[in-house]
Homo-oligomer: A and B are copies of this chain.
Amino acid sequence: MGIERLGYVQVRVTDLNVARAYYTNVLGLREVEVTADRAYLKAWDEHDHHSLILRQAATSGLDHIGWKLESAADLEQIETRAERAGARVERLPADADLATGPAIRFETPSNHIVSLYFGMQKVGNGLPKLNPMPRPAGLIGIAPPRLDHLLVTTEHVPESTRFFESVLGFRLVEQVVTDDGVQVAAFLERTRTPHDIAFVPGRDGGLHHFAYWLDNFSDLAPAADLLRMNKIGIDIGPTRHGITRGHTIYFFDPAGNRNEVFTGGYYVDSDFEPISWSADQLGPAIFYYEGKLNEAFLSVYS
């Protein structure tokens, strides 16, 4: 009951066609639907209509975050909890445009808009339900199987953590804390992975990155090759995070939104005791191999 997983992110791009070309040919998502100012895309092994909406706009950045609910009853429960926590909740009817069932939407203490929905149109993963092959033929680009998580920036990390814990049922897995015990970054989960969302320092409402899953460390090499063969700048990687233990590559879409391919991590029990990183260990916490942040990590985001 409650939030099932990160359903989709809607991000702004400054040239929709350029972004579509990148997300389909290089990242290797499938384009499910295109409208005048939007493109709906999904990773190949996702069954729902989309995990990414690109919206043509003057700037890059995050419009809202879609969370898939396990049941219709979750809508009401979360609405109640969100309102008690002071959020102004908007009810949305089933939306043909978003291909979703009924939803609620509100702003978090970090000034991010979250949309919680029950029921998204299913388009399938391109494989039959009878005797399927392990993957469809003819995948192109990096072709990750699915969306994994996102990081957002905020000036209110502790408040955001508490809101996501108390209102949305997330569990804290890892955090960075100062000597004075102030939480400066927080990694939270709903799916027994090290993070479905994380909060890092930055302006409220910012998008640090969203990440697609890869199955194996060895998949990072052809992914990095494809990025560079297509002249996509790699921010950092392949490298490893201390936090989450995941292996990663960061890079930017043509509009400047940071993308990640991520693999690894670990299984998280519901009674997992959170891991803490002291602020002076932020370097290895973020980039375990380098032992220090690269310049862009905390300063460049959309």
B135 touches A225 (CB 8 A): yes
**Which residues on B sit within 8 Å (CB–CB) of A234?**
289-291
B267 touches A240 (CB 8 A): no
Classify chain A: how many residues form its interface, as a range: 35 or more
**Which residues on B sit within 8 Å (CB–CB) of A240?**
134, 221, 224-225
Over the window 103-139 of chain A, the binary record of Cβ atoms lying under 8 Å from chain B Cβ atoms (1 yes, 0 no) is: 0000000000000000000100000011111110100
A275 at interface, CB cutoff 8 A: yes
Complex partner residue of A131 from B129, B192, B224, B285, CB under 8 angstroms: B285
A217 touches B228 (CB 8 A): no
A297 at interface, CB cutoff 8 A: no
B229 touches A137 (CB 8 A): yes
A93 at interface, CB cutoff 8 A: no
A70 at interface, CB cutoff 8 A: yes
**Which residues on B sit within 8 Å (CB–CB) of A225?**
134-135, 240, 288
**Which residues on B sit within 8 Å (CB–CB) of A122?**
273
A66 at interface, CB cutoff 8 A: no
**Which residues on B sit within 8 Å (CB–CB) of A134?**
225, 229, 240, 242, 245, 288
A130 touches B229 (CB 8 A): no
Closest to A147 in B: B267
Closest to A285 in B: B131
A299 at interface, CB cutoff 8 A: no
Over the window 258-296 of chain A, the binary record of Cβ atoms lying under 8 Å from chain B Cβ atoms (1 yes, 0 no) is: 000000101101101111111001001100111100000
Give the one of A122, A134, A277, A285 with max B CB within 10 A: A134
Give the one of A233, A281, A288 with max B CB within 10 A: A288
Over the window 225-247 of chain A, the binary record of Cβ atoms lying under 8 Å from chain B Cβ atoms (1 yes, 0 no) is: 10111000110011110100101
**Which residues on B sit within 8 Å (CB–CB) of A216?**
216-218
**Which residues on B sit within 8 Å (CB–CB) of A137?**
229
A30 at interface, CB cutoff 8 A: no
**Which residues on B sit within 8 Å (CB–CB) of A291?**
228, 233-234
In the assembled complex, the CB of A221 is this many whole angstroms from the nearest CB of chain B, namely: 5
A203 at interface, CB cutoff 8 A: no
A residues at B contact (CB < 8 Å) = 1, 4-5, 45, 47-48, 68, 70, 122, 129-135, 137, 145-146, 191-192, 213, 215-218, 221, 224-225, 227-229, 233-234, 237-240, 242, 245, 247, 264, 266-267, 269-270, 272-278, 281, 284-285, 288-291
